[in-house]
Amino acid sequence: MIYLDNSATTKPYREVLDAYRTVAEDFFANPSSLHRKGGEAERLLRQARKSISELLNVSISEVVFTSGGTESNNLAIKGVALQYMSRGKHLITSQIEHASSMQSFHQLEDIGFEVTYLPVDTNGQISIHDLENALTSETTLVSIMHVNNEIGAIQPIQDIGHIIKEKSRAVFHIDDVQGIGKVPLDFNNVKADLISYSAHKFHGLKGNGLLLKKKNIALFPLLSGGGQESEIRSGTENVPGIVAMAKALRLYFDTADAKKGKLEEWRKKLVDELPEIPEVELNTSRIAAPHIINFSVRGIKPEVLIHTLEEKDIYVSTRSACSSKATETSHVLTAAGFPVERAKTAIRISLSYDTTDDQIGIFLSELQNAISKLKHVMR
């Protein structure tokens, strides 16, 4: 199998599955329970939080556990907007955010908030000048994705943070779900107040994520109940999943340190050789993230090409897995200025540190074969 859909989800490490099963079987008690078994589960929860805080170079109190990237983004965006609405109701984001962010902003617009959607250039990057002009005394939140999930565009996060803090009182949220471990980002150096992550993007399990939150930032809770996660996110903690997430993050960072150069090598090969295949047009900038490559194939429906490659046990995707079954054209590609027809035929491949040299070579060969076959059938 050649799996090139890692931005949709990654394969869990075996050690992560083992950790989950051990905790689920032996430490299944509710960590809020007062008895000894509850105390054992609570200690594992504290240890996982400490491990994650050390890996991400943040304080223990800055780690908030969630169910994944979607909840982290919703909690950050809606939580800030509702908490600070007495200061103002103006919010800023970009035109190429993940659906979980875009839909959050649309919902806030429905209840009276004003949202500025910053345009992007052909590289998928916003303009710092546009951001500066958009900031007002009423702006309470700027939410920007670090690495775009469809085209791999990297935003100038440090410059963005600097402008926000110099020119406004707005809270700065970063969706770093796609960037972690592949495009460096230090919570303490980018002037961010909130950062979203999802475990299944770094070989953890689905249903677990986290939100890094600076101590001075208050959030309006979206889930009410028992007051878990410092009353920010109520609900019994998924201790097995959280322990597994801590294990995944440690293993992932170890692998990243050893194999980071391989991603750049594979990306260069793909970016150089894909345009040489007839009918292929590269949509990803050469300055984008090393693990996400987007291209279009003229005249071939992407779902047809996906299923043709699937026959060879090769797995790619169209766009975000959250949106891939929708019929709308990619809002990311059209926002970046690509024609609608090109956006409709886009394919995304996304690498992991488990990808190999042989897999890249086989993919390129089979892609060319698949395109030739489909073009012949369509004549």
Helix (H) or strand (E) holding 364: helix 357-378
Q: How many CA atoms lie within 13 A of 77 on its CB side?
A: 31
- How many helices (H) does the chain have, and how many strands (E)? 11, 12
CA distance 186 to 171: 17
CA distance 288 to 153: 5
Written as six digits, the tokens of 61 are: 């109190």
CA distance 187 to 184: 10
Written as six digits, the tokens of 218 are: 């208050």
| Cβ-Cβ contacts under 8 Å for 3 (sequence gap 6 or more) | 11, 315, 352
Written as six digits, the tokens of 252 are: 């992932």
Q: Which of 24, 128, 277, 322 is catalytic?
A: 322
Q: Where are the beta strands (DSSP E) in 25-83?
A: 63-66
Report whether 87 contacts 136 (CB < 8 A): no
CA distance 21 to 12: 13
- Told to judge if 314 belongs to the known catalytic residues of this protein, a careful annotator would answer no
Helix (H) or strand (E) holding 242: helix 239-273
Q: Where are the beta strands (DSSP E) in 95-193?
A: 114-118, 139-145, 171-175
Catalytic residues: 322
